Structures are given as structure tokens and as C-alpha cells.
Amino acid sequence: MSMLESVPTPNRRLRRGRRNATLRRMVRETQLTVDNLIAPLFIVEGQNIRKPISSMPGQFQLSLDQLGTEIDELVAAQIPAVLLFGIPLHKDAQGSSAWDANGPVPSAIRAIKQQAPHLVVIADVCMCEYTDHGHCGILTSGEPETITVDNDPTLELLARASVAYAEAGADVVAPSAMMDGQIAAIRYGLDQAGYHDTIILSYAAKFASAFYGPFREAAESTPQFGDRRSYQMDAANAREAIAETALDVAEGADWLMVKPAGAYLDIIRAVYEEFDLPLAAYQVSGEYAMIKAAAANGWIDEQRVALESLLAIRRAGASMIITYYAKAAAQWLKA
């Protein structure tokens, strides 16, 4: 006699809906599609540059004359949007190349819009790639250990850069400097310049994360001293993330973002539940690099892990996912 003979059999068997791929597809709660993907691109000044980023296999710094092939591939993959970062030849204390009409980002925006008018172009707005000190705005004076970014004077620079990108044809500007009041300043600058329809995608909850390491190589934006913890968020703070987001919503943000994504799924879910604006999440360089490294060592199935990580971000509530896996994921999702 079986020791379980007297145990009643379950009436509800959820495994019934998992028996084959078609059934699983029919009851799937969360869908990940190419429409959810945004591809980041790094634009450098110069010619004939397609420089591999060593800590991010498969990613490159691209000069303008190399950008066209990449755009063709993204359009063919039906990826709806790109996020642009610029690496200028000239850097100074204010980051003045950020609003140079002939700088890397405005030039790339014009080229993309001529080649692929329907591709949505998002321009990251920050000073760190453009300043010679690697921080996200104008610095305060004082002793080295007390120097930080001077918030209010930096707002004008962010607004100037945003207007320059809008003038070049950007659909969306995405301020990532984490300065208090940056959304209001940028919205005012855009409206004064006549760009009322330019969307502001706010990096509303951007954490001071160790996961950004490889990006510093990609964007050549490593701080020359200190770090960014005095203006980016503490990883321990969830309620503060809601407060930061609420301020950006009040200032006129159109879309919201949480960055990073994988270690902050709880923040994505909290922002999704609290606010009714479109929500993005950024699967950052360190997240990508870890999957790549583990896959290169044969420890994981890269395709399955990458898609699962993206699905988790989508399940948490993000409808837009900025990811270095955009092009590969688009191909995998077609299979």
C-alpha cells in the first residue's frame, strides 16, 4: 500500500497548461517583443572608427561614417529606437562640446534622421562625456575632498544641450545628470526654443551603481577624482526613488526611467505601480558584460539568460528596455 494512497489528488493542476510550447505561449502573462527594445550607440568624432569596447564584447565606438551600416542593421531588425552617447575630441571644464551643433550627437542625429526618418532618436543629456574632469556638470570650488557638481549652474548647460539635440532632430532627450530641477529647466529651454513636442525621458531613479563600470570605457567618462555618489542615488533607498520620480513627474517629465535594471526590479515595479507614465529601464553595461563573460566561459546559455533577464525587466513593469542586447535579442525573438 502506498503511503500516499489516502492523500486526495489535486483538482487544480497548473502543469496542464505547461505540457507543450503552444499551450505555454497561449497562457504567457508577459510578452517581450522587439518593440520593447532600445539600442544604445556610442558616437565618436573622427573617420573610419569602429573601435571595439573591450569590456563589452560586440559593442563599438562608431564614427559618423561607420554609423550607417549599424543603422541599417537596426532598422532591418525592426528595433524602434536608439539612445545616443557622444565622445568628443575636445573636453573642457563646462563640457561645451555637448551643445556644439557639429558635435558627435547632433551630427549623428541628423545623419540618422536622413537615413531612417522613422527610427526614434533619443539623445542622452549629461556632461560627463564632455567635461575634462569626468563629472556631470560644473564643479564647485573648495578643497578637493569637498568638490562636487554645482547643481543650479549645471541646469543651464543641460538645457542648452537638450535644445541643441532637439534642433538636430532628436525625438527624445534623456537627462541623466541627476541634478535637482533638471526636468523643469530642460522643459523650459525646449519650450522657449519652440520644441514643445520634444519628449523628455527622465532618468528619474538613477543609482550610483558599480554596474556602470564598462560604460566608463565605452563613453570615456571616468571621473578624474572621487565618484558620483553625492548626486546619484544610494542603492539602499527605495522610497527616495519614488520621491525623485515624483519630482520629475511634477516638473514635466513625459517618460520615466530606472537605471540600472536587473538589480533594481523592485524599483521598476514600484515606479510602475505609482505613476501612470511610460516607463523605461536600462540594462546597463555591467549587466551585459557579466552575461557575456559567463557565456564566454561556457557557464551559461547566453541566449536563454539574456532573454530571461530582459523578460524579467519587462515583467517588472518596463515597456521600454535600453539594452546592449537589442540587436541580438531582436533576432532571437524572431526564431
Angle at 195 between CA 158 and CA 205, to 5 degrees: 45
Q: In terms of Cα–Cα distance, which of 156, 142, 53 is closest to 98? A: 156
Cell numbers 565605452 label which residue?
Answer: 218
Say which of 51, 91, 259, 292 is annotated catalytic: 259
Annotated binding-site positions for Zn(2+): 126, 128, 136
Determine whether 206 is an active site residue: yes
CB atoms within 10 A of CB 40: 24
Annotated binding-site positions: 126, 128, 136, 216, 228, 244, 285, 324
Q: In terms of Cα–Cα distance, which of 106, 127, 104, 129 is closest to 44? A: 104
- Those residues with Cβ within 8 angstroms of residue 114's Cβ, 6 or more apart along the chain or in another chain: none
Give bridge partners of residue 279 from the DSSP assignment. Answer: 256
Annotated binding-site positions for 5-aminolevulinate: 216, 228, 285, 324
Q: Distances from the Cα of 159 to the Cαs of 93, 174, 199, 318, in angstroms?
A: 17, 11, 13, 26
How far apart are the C-alpha atoms of 257 and 278, rounded to whole Å? 9
Annotated binding-site positions for Mg(2+): 244
**195 SS3 class:** coil
Determine whether 91 is an active site residue: no
Say which of 51, 91, 113, 206 is annotated catalytic: 206
Residue type, 111: A
- Those residues with Cβ within 8 angstroms of residue 115's Cβ, 6 or more apart along the chain or in another chain: 68, 71, 72
For residue 278, is the peptide bond before it cis, meaning its omega torsion is within 30 degrees of 0?
no
Which secondary structure element, helix H or strand E, spans residue 192, and what is its range? helix 182-192
The HSE-up count of residue 244 (CA atoms within 13 Å, CB side) is 28
Supply the residues annotated as catalytic: 206, 259
